[in-house]
A = this chain, B = another copy of it.
Amino acid sequence: MTDWKSEISAATGRINGHIVKTPVVRVNGFGLPYGIEMKLEQLQHTGSFKARGAFNTLLSQPVPKAGLVAASGGNHGAAVAFAAHRLGHKAHIFVPEIAGPSKIRLIRGIGADLTVVPGEYVNALEQARAYEVESGAMQIHAYDAVPTVAGQGSLMQEWEAQGLEADTILIAVGGGGLIAGALAWLQGARKVVAVEPETSYALHAAMAAGRPVDVDVSGVAANALGARSVGRICYDLAAGQNTQTVLVSDDAITTAQYALWREKRQLVEPAGATALAALMSGAYQPEPGEKVAVLVCGGNIAPDPFVQD
């Protein structure tokens, strides 16, 4: 059994100074009759929470001379490239085509080797595994590894230290690394609601099947949330805590994304607006008096507002 509280506390200490302690804010709006807390994790290095797991992995074990390899829809790859660059390691990132030009540019800009793989995330992962065997580079899994999950868990420890009041935290789920970190840290102390697109719902399907199963992935958030199956670590934690999952449509995600911009001047990628979409669409309806919080997890929108592709 992993002692998650210890793993996450250690991760928090290890990555301190390497990551951004991202801001929190209490807001009204979005057509909701109650206020919500938000954590703006898109201010994290490389625009998503992924830098936490990447730094924790690199700082908790020896890194081979061949450096690092990662497969990623974009955000994890950017984070691994960034952490590797900061800590003086080589990195080779494999991304599927659906990562899109903005995220590909982000990774290239950091200076990592990059291979764009036809197909979806799982195809990039296959090539990354082949490269790992051949090169001796260390693979950093995007969501299903203890150091990754412990790193992502630092976010919830940090949020509590910042005065989080919510009874319930809504978190978008792809492969499940972020929510696994939250569940692992909270251990039931607060309710965590998993929010997935109707177009990619690996955790919802796993909870229904009683084990991780494959789902088809598509939709506006696919390059961030489009894992074909949820990680084992996430599944075990979610099943153990009987985590509630809710689904939101692509339209609901896009509506929330626009509302975040129009009302709060926060321009985020679809995945970053997915948790809010559950409140705005009514997919999750808090009880009277229930205090809710929304994690804004990523901001790497496409197209980039400053760059023509």
Contact = CB atoms under 8 A, between A and B. Distances in A.
A267 interface: yes
Contacts of A137: none
Interface in A44-83: 47
A88 interface: no
A21 interface: yes
Contact of A23 (B23, B42, B47, B301): B23
B20 A23 contact: no
Interface residues of A, number: 25
Interface string A250-272: 00000000100110111110000
B300 A265 contact: yes
A26 B264 CA distance: 20
A24 interface: yes
Nearest to A306: B258
Contact of A25 (B23, B47, B301): B23
Interface in A286-309: 299-301, 305-306
A262 B22 contact: no
Contacts of A305: 261, 267, 301, 305
A40 interface: yes
A239 interface: no
A186 interface: no
Nearest to A23: B23
Contacts of A24: 23
Contacts of A114: none
B22 A43 contact: no
Contacts of A299: 265
Interface string A1-41: 00000000000000000001111111100000000000010
A27 B42 CA distance: 13
Contacts of A27: 20, 43
B21 A43 contact: no
A267 B267 contact: yes
Nearest to A109: B262
A292 to B, nearest CB: 17
A22 B266 CA distance: 13
A301 B261 CA distance: 11
Contacts of A301: 305
Contacts of A21: 25-26
A13 B42 CA distance: 31
Interface of A: 20-27, 40, 42-43, 47, 258, 261-262, 264-268, 299-301, 305-306
